[in-house]
Each structure stands twice: as structure tokens, then as C-alpha cells.
């Protein structure tokens, strides 16, 4: 009389479908197993008793199922704690300015004629001997091009004065930033970052962690996309 547990049962529980993780099903499975095992021992042939190895194998299988259930509970607890920590961290960013991957710079003139631009950032995997900033308008025409000198590896923030290469005030509106970084005669890969204000937080769901709402222009990003808080 054999009572070997189907390996597919263990696989289904390990894969983590909602019904497979249900505690009542797991308890029922263990109870049924023990009932069958006791019945098997009671009705075994005294002259040909159950092999110790077979009994040990069957006990190991049910222990594996129980272990998988406990592991799933532990992992769920850890995941819930991580999501809660991310939610608190994200909530603390509401109303703050951040740098995220992007190339947009906004320029406006106030009532006194002063120019105001949003900051931009540069992320470098290694130091660059010189970094050149190229500002273009909506048509792709170059408005200004200037050097900011050497920049170390990592993330740094900068501002454009809102003026053209001729020193005239550029028109209010949205502009693009392009970065040209070099080390010696070799180009250095650079990631351009733009400024945005965190307006809200979307709670975590089954597809990932919390999302930060940066408004209609920039949409939603994950915490891992925040490169610098300004």
C-alpha cells in the first residue's frame, strides 16, 4: 500500500497560487496524510512491515510541504514590511523636488523680468574631464551650448541661466538638455536628469513597490528612479 505524495502538489504550493497557499488546504493535506499513514501502519502485513526508508520518505515529503508553507508566510511578512517601509519613505517625499531620468528644463519670466529655470542633473559612471551642456528648443534648434568643466562620478545638479549663446533671455517654455561628457579623447556615458516635484504616492500593488506621482508631464516613477532630492 503506497501513500507517496504527488510531487505536483509540492510544486503547486511552491509556485504560490492563492488556493495553494490557503492555510486550511495545507492543514487538510497534512491531516489526510497522517490518517492514511496511520491506516497503512495498522493494516500492514506483520510478516512484511512497511520499509523504514519508505516511511521516512513519506514523512519527509509532508515536512517539505509544511516547510514551503512556513517559508511562504515568512517571505510574505518580509515583503509586507518592505512595502510598509517604502510607503513611509515615499510619503516623506511629497512636496519635495527630485531629480529623475529625463532631459526637460522649464524656463519662465516673472513679473519683474527675472528668469527662472528648473534645475537639471547629470549622472556619470566615472569622472569626466569636461562636460558640455547643450540646450535645445522644441524645434530641436540649439539655444545655448556651454562647458561646465570637470565633473566627478556620481550625481550632480546644475542650473541653466535661461539665456542664449548671445546672452539674450530665451523665451519662456520647455527646453531639452543634452550632455556631452569626455575623459581625454573618449566619450563618457552620461544620464541626463530633470527636476520634478512629488505630488503624491501610489500604494504598492501585486506588480511592484510604491510609485511616486510627478504630475501629468512626468507621470509615475519608482523610488529607484530618484537620483537626488533637492
End residue of a domain, out of 91, 110, 141: 91
Question: Could you tell me if residue 228 is inside a domain?
Answer: no
| pLDDT score at 4 | 41
**Does 140 share its domain with 75?**
no
Whole-angstrom Cα distance, residue 87 to residue 110? 36
Whole-angstrom Cα distance, residue 174 to residue 55? 74
**Does 81 share its domain with 42?**
yes
- The set of cell numbers assigned to 141 is 534648434
- Given a cut of 80, is residue 36 above it in pLDDT? no
**Across 6-15, 91-100, 111-120, least confident range:** 6-15
**Does 110 share its domain with 176?**
yes
**Does 141 share its domain with 69?**
no
**Does 59 share its domain with 121?**
no
Say which CATH number the domain at 122 has.
2.60.40.4070
**Does 38 share its domain with 67?**
yes
Question: Could you tell me if residue 207 is inside a domain?
Answer: no
The answer to whether the CB of 192 falls within 8 A of the CB of 182 is no
CA dihedral 75, 78, 79, 80 (to 10 degrees): 120
Question: Could you tell me if residue 220 is inside a domain?
Answer: no
Question: Could you tell me if residue 128 is inside a domain?
Answer: yes
Strand partners, 59: none
**Does 108 share its domain with 136?**
yes
**Does 78 share its domain with 120?**
no
| pLDDT score at 203 | 76
CB atoms within 10 A of CB 47: 5
**Does 28 share its domain with 84?**
yes
pLDDT, one tens digit per residue, over 184-220 is 999 999 999 999 999 998 877 666 678 899 988 888 9
Sign of the alpha-carbon dihedral angle for 201, 202, 205, 209:
negative
Counting residues of the chain whose pLDDT is more than 70, the rounded percentage is 64
| pLDDT score at 90 | 76
- The set of cell numbers assigned to 18 is 492563492
Contacts of 68 (CB under 8 A, 6+ apart): 10, 13, 14
Question: Could you tell me if residue 162 is inside a domain?
Answer: yes
End-to-end CA distance of the chain: 71
**Most confident region among 8-12, 91-95, 197-201 by mean pLDDT:** 197-201
DSSP state, residue 220: E
Nearest to 117 by CA among 179, 200, 194: 194
Up-side HSE of residue 96: CA atoms within 13 Å toward CB?
15
Only one residue has cell 511562504, namely 72
| pLDDT score at 202 | 83
Whole-angstrom Cα distance, residue 210 to residue 202? 6
Task: Look at 39 and 172; give whichever has higher pLDDT.
Answer: 172
Question: Could you tell me if residue 29 is inside a domain?
Answer: yes
Which range marks the domain in which residue 107 is found? 101-195
End residue of a domain, out of 91, 122, 154: 91
Whole-angstrom Cα distance, residue 17 to residue 23? 12
The pLDDT of 140-158, averaged and rounded, is: 96
**Does 77 share its domain with 36?**
yes
- The set of cell numbers assigned to 30 is 497534512
**Most confident region among 28-32, 53-57, 149-153, 201-205 by mean pLDDT:** 149-153
Only one residue has cell 537620483, namely 227
**Does 41 share its domain with 114?**
no
**Does 87 share its domain with 105?**
no
The pLDDT of 59-78, averaged and rounded, is: 68
Number of domains in the chain: 2
End residue of a domain, out of 52, 70, 91: 91
Question: Could you tell me if residue 74 is inside a domain?
Answer: yes
The pLDDT of 118-125, averaged and rounded, is: 97
Question: Could you tell me if residue 224 is inside a domain?
Answer: no
Amino acid at each position: 500500500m503506497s501513500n507517496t505524495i504527488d510531487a505536483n502538489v509540492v510544486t503547486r504550493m511552491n509556485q504560490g497560487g492563492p488556493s495553494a497557499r490557503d492555510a486550511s488546504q495545507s492543514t487538510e493535506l497534512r491531516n489526510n496524510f497522517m490518517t492514511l499513514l496511520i491506516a497503512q501502519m495498522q493494516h500492514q502485513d506483520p510478516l512484511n512491515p512497511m520499509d523504514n526508508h519508505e516511511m521516512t520518505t513519506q514523512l519527509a515529503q509532508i515536512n517539505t510541504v509544511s516547510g514551503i508553507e512556513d517559508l511562504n508566510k515568512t517571505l510574505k511578512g518580509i515583503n509586507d514590511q518592505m512595502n510598509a517601509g517604502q510607503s513611509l519613505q515615499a510619503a516623506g517625499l511629497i512636496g519635495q523636488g527630485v531629480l529623475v531620468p529625463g532631459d526637460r528644463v522649464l524656463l519662465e519670466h516673472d513679473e519683474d523680468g527675472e528668469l527662472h529655470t528648473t534645475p537639471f542633473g547629470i549622472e556619470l559612471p566615472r569622472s569626466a574631464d569636461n562636460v558640455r551642456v547643450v540646450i535645445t528648443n522644441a524645434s530641436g534648434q540649439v539655444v545655448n551650448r556651454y562647458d561646465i568643466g570637470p565633473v566627478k562620478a556620481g550625481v550632480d545638479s546644475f542650473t541653466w541661466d535661461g539665456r542664449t549663446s548671445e546672452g539674450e533671455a530665451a523665451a519662456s517654455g520647455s527646453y531639452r538638455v543634452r550632455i556631452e561628457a569626455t575623459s581625454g579623447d573618449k566619450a563618457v556615458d552620461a544620464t541626463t536628469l530633470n527636476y520634478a516635484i512629488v505630488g503624491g504616492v501610489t500604494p504598492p500593488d501585486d506588480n511592484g513597490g510604491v510609485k511616486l506621482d510627478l504630475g501629468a508631464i512626468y507621470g509615475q516613477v519608482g523610488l529607484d528612479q530618484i537620483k537626488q532630492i533637492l
